[in-house]
Every structure is written in structure tokens, then in C-alpha cells.
């Protein structure tokens, strides 16, 4: 990821503007009541960039930022947001568990998750936890504002890449059923805890680091690793 405060890759563009600018501002006839938004991302540059973009929208205002699960809890209590925009991964914290917790405490709270993972299983887990949308980091900048407005109206929003991934998976399942083939291993087999550990392993953390971060024993993490290997 470059240092241009981007949500996506360096090649992502929207209307000729690199996504790193996140400065596209839609023109509207009237300025509606502003949506109070909390932004969560462990990377400060990225978090500040998202906040700057959202604050450039006439109907949105960022009331707080956080970089961890503990930050999220305190900021929600502090600024009482109507909407949360969060990265799928917040350090070593379990963000799916956080989403469930926030929705239990405030069912009216709307949550949008963004991630570099286009596999539909990540979107499915986030939505099951209580999120109302899932967008890709590689999406054009205005996608974020479009998704927020759609969700505030009561809808759901999923990036095109994720929708296509889900469609392809559905076709594959149908073909497997047609030919009575044994399904290939997939991330769907993982529990939420295993999915979380899988992401942490993918980020380069070792077994001991993960155990320390999650407050679990090294033996427990090793057991999860073996289960993940067996399922995949």
C-alpha cells in the first residue's frame, strides 16, 4: 500500500482521480441532515484519508476515529455515531465479534465493512455479524459515499467484485451438485475464530504473537492452525 492515504491499490481510479485522493464531492441541491460517522482502521494515514473524504461530502460528518477494537468501543460511547465505517481487520482484534456487539447494543447503528478480500465468504461473515454492506478497498472513491447513502435508506450494499464472487461460487456449487462431486475445501469451512486467526497468520504474525494478542495459549493457537490446515 502506498503512502497516499488510499483505500485500494495505487492503480485504483475514479473518474480520472486516484482513489488515494478520496476527494470527490457530489453536488446536491440541498444539504440534508449530516450522517454522524465513526471511522475505524488500524492504519492512521488510511483512516485520516477516509475521514477527509467523508467530511467533504455535504451530508456526512466524521464524529470520531479509532484504530483498534478497544478504540471502537470507547469512541462509540463518546460520539454516538449513526454509522460505522470499518476495516475488516483491526489489528489483532476480532472485528466480527465487535460488529455483533455494537449491533446488539444499538440495533439502529449501521455498519459498512471494507476489505481487500473479494472472496464472498468474508462479506457473508460480516453481514451475518450485523454489517449492512461490504465494499472493496480497490473500489472507486465515490463507492463509499454511495454505499453509505444506500444503507442509511435501509438498503444493503455489496461491491460488484464480491457479488460476482458469490455468483461464481453459486454456479460452482450447482455444477458440483449436478456431477455429484465432492466439494473442494474452502474458507467457508472455517469458524469465525479460525477465520480471524487465518487472517492474522496471513498478515505475517507468528503463533506466539497471535497467542499473546488474543490472550490465548500457544497450544490453543497451534490447535487452531492444525484445524485450519485440515479444513483447507
Between 41 and 168, the higher pLDDT residue: 41
Q: What is the percent of the chain with per-residue pLDDT over 70, rounded to a whole number?
A: 71
pLDDT value at residue 193: 78
- State the Cα–Cα distance between residues 99 and 111, nearest whole angstrom: 8
Given a cut of 80, whether residue 199 has pLDDT beyond it is no
- State the Cα–Cα distance between residues 198 and 219, nearest whole angstrom: 16
CATH architecture group of domain 13-162 = 3-Layer(aba) Sandwich (3.40)
Mark out the alpha helices in 29-159 (DSSP H runs): 44-55, 69-79, 95-105, 120-129, 142-152
Backbone angles phi, psi at 63, to 5 degrees: -95, -10
Mean pLDDT for 153-176 is: 69
Q: What is the percent of the chain with per-residue pLDDT over 90, rounded to a whole number?
A: 41
Given a cut of 50, whether residue 11 has pLDDT beyond it is no
pLDDT band at 7 (very low <50, low <70, confident <90, very high): very low
**Ranges for all domains in the chain classified under CATH 1.10.10.10:** 182-231
Does CATH number 3.10.350.10 belong to domain 182-231? no
**Ranges for all domains in the chain classified under CATH 3.40.50.2300:** 13-162
Task: Tell me the three cell numbers of residue 91.
Answer: 489489528
pLDDT band at 216 (very low <50, low <70, confident <90, very high): confident
pLDDT band at 121 (very low <50, low <70, confident <90, very high): confident
Q: Which of 133, 136, 126, 130 is nearest to 148 (CA)?
A: 133
**Does the reported pTM lie above 0.75?**
no
Given a cut of 90, whether residue 74 has pLDDT beyond it is yes
Give, in order, the Cα–Cα distances in Å from 145 to each of 37, 53, 148, 187: 11, 9, 5, 30
Between 62 and 183, the higher pLDDT residue: 62
Mean pLDDT of the chain: 78
Residue the block writes with cell 454505499: 147
Q: Give yes or no for a contact between 41 and 53, defined as CB atoms under 8 angstroms apart.
A: no
Q: Give yes or no for a contact between 39 and 65, defined as CB atoms under 8 angstroms apart.
A: yes
- State the Cα–Cα distance between residues 3 and 36, nearest whole angstrom: 27
pLDDT value at residue 1: 39
Mean pLDDT for 215-220 is: 84
Which of 44-58, 124-138, 192-206 shows the highest mean pLDDT? 44-58
pLDDT band at 10 (very low <50, low <70, confident <90, very high): very low
Q: Tell me the torsion sign for CA atoms 33, 59, 157, 101.
A: negative
pLDDT value at residue 86: 97
Q: Give yes or no for a contact between 87 and 105, defined as CB atoms under 8 angstroms apart.
A: no
Length of the chain: 232
pLDDT band at 91 (very low <50, low <70, confident <90, very high): confident
Mean pLDDT for 28-47 is: 85
Q: Give yes or no for a contact between 148 and 85, defined as CB atoms under 8 angstroms apart.
A: yes
pLDDT value at residue 98: 95
Amino acid at each position: 500500500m502506498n503512502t497516499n492515504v488510499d483505500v485500494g491499490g495505487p492503480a485504483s481510479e475514479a473518474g480520472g482521480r486516484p482513489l488515494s485522493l478520496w476527494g470527490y464531492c457530489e453536488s446536491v441541491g440541498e444539504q440534508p441532515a449530516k450522517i454522524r460517522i465513526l471511522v475505524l482502521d488500524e492504519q492512521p494515514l488510511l483512516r485520516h484519508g477516509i475521514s477527509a473524504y467523508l467530511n467533504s461530502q455535504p451530508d456526512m460528518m466524521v464524529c470520531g476515529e479509532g484504530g483498534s477494537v478497544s478504540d471502537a468501543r470507547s469512541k462509540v460511547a463518546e460520539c454516538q455515531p449513526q454509522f460505522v465505517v470499518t476495516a475488516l481487520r483491526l489489528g489483532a482484534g476480532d472485528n466480527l465479534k465487535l460488529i455483533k456487539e455494537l449491533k446488539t447494543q444499538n440495533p439502529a447503528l449501521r455498519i459498512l465493512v471494507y476489505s481487500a478480500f473479494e472472496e464472498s465468504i468474508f462479506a457473508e461473515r460480516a453481514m451475518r455479524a450485523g454489517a449492512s454492506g461490504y465494499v472493496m478497498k480497490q473500489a472507486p472513491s465515490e463507492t463509499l459515499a454511495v454505499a453509505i447513502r444506500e444503507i442509511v435508506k435501509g438498503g444493503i450494499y455489496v461491491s460488484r467484485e464480491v457479488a460476482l464472487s458469490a455468483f461464481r461460487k453459486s454456479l460452482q456449487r450447482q455444477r458440483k451438485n449436478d456431477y455429484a462431486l465432492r466439494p473442494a475445501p474452502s474458507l467457508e469451512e472455517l469458524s469465525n475464530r479460525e477465520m480471524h486467526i487465518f487472517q492474522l497468520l496471513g498478515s505475517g504474525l507468528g503463533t506466539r504473537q497471535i497467542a499473546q494478542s488474543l490472550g490465548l495459549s500457544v497450544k490453543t493457537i497451534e490447535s487452531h492452525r492444525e484445524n485450519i490446515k485440515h479444513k483447507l
